[in-house]
Amino acid sequence: MLTISRDLVDAIVAHARRDHPDEACGIVAGAAGSDTPTRHVPMLNAERSPTFYRFDSMEQLRVWREMDDRDEEPVVIYHSHTATEAYPSRTDTSLAGEPRAHYMLVSTRDPEQDEIRSYRIVDGSVTEEPVRVIDAKVDPAAVTTYMFGQNQAQVDYECSAG
């Protein structure tokens, strides 16, 4: 499961919307081994393409060194699909090079509806995982109603069937 704050999800979706119809890409760094994404780094799509993305190699070196210096790793690696569903393409799968990262996909095909999904991609094999979005800004004292097993500060998105 990917657990991520609402602020970070909003920032990722905003980046994807801003770059539409080109694909947007970036990372969320977090302390090494923590599995907790904390620092959003939008990256340039060197391809500037609606069907392909690639981090600019010099920017990637700078950002990866910065993570090294701060003892961080890329907890989330995200990119957008601008005309198709938020599911890894064949190229995404064959090129995935960070086995410990959560690969997040955002689809901007529907201008009204955000679609975010998360995957592990290891050795060419894709496993979808649930995304738990934590809303840190919710006032815990506020009166709300919620279902058993849920609370007002988090929303679980189950994997889509198939």
Q: Is 79 among the residues that bind another protein (CB under 8 A)?
A: yes
Question: Residues with Cβ < 8 Å from 52, sequence gap 6 or more?
Answer: 23, 91
Q: Mark residues 36-75: x for contact with another protein by CB under 8 A, - for none.
A: -------x---x---xxxxx-xx-xx--x-----------
Residue with Cβ nearer another protein (57 or 145):
57
The dihedral built from the CA positions of residue 72, 76, 60 and 19, taken in this order, carries a sign that is negative
Binding another protein by CB under 8 A: which of 34, 91, 125, 151?
91
Minimum distance from residue 67 beta carbon to another protein (Å) = 11
Q: Is 140 among the residues that bind another protein (CB under 8 A)?
A: no
Q: 10 phi and psi, to 5 degrees?
A: -60, -40
Minimum distance from residue 4 beta carbon to another protein (Å) = 18
How many angstroms separate the Cα of 127 from the Cα of each of 1, 26, 42, 73, 161? 11, 20, 24, 20, 12
Query: What residues make contact with another protein under the rule CB under 8 A?
Result: 25, 27, 43, 47, 51-55, 57-58, 60-61, 64, 77, 79, 88-92, 95-100
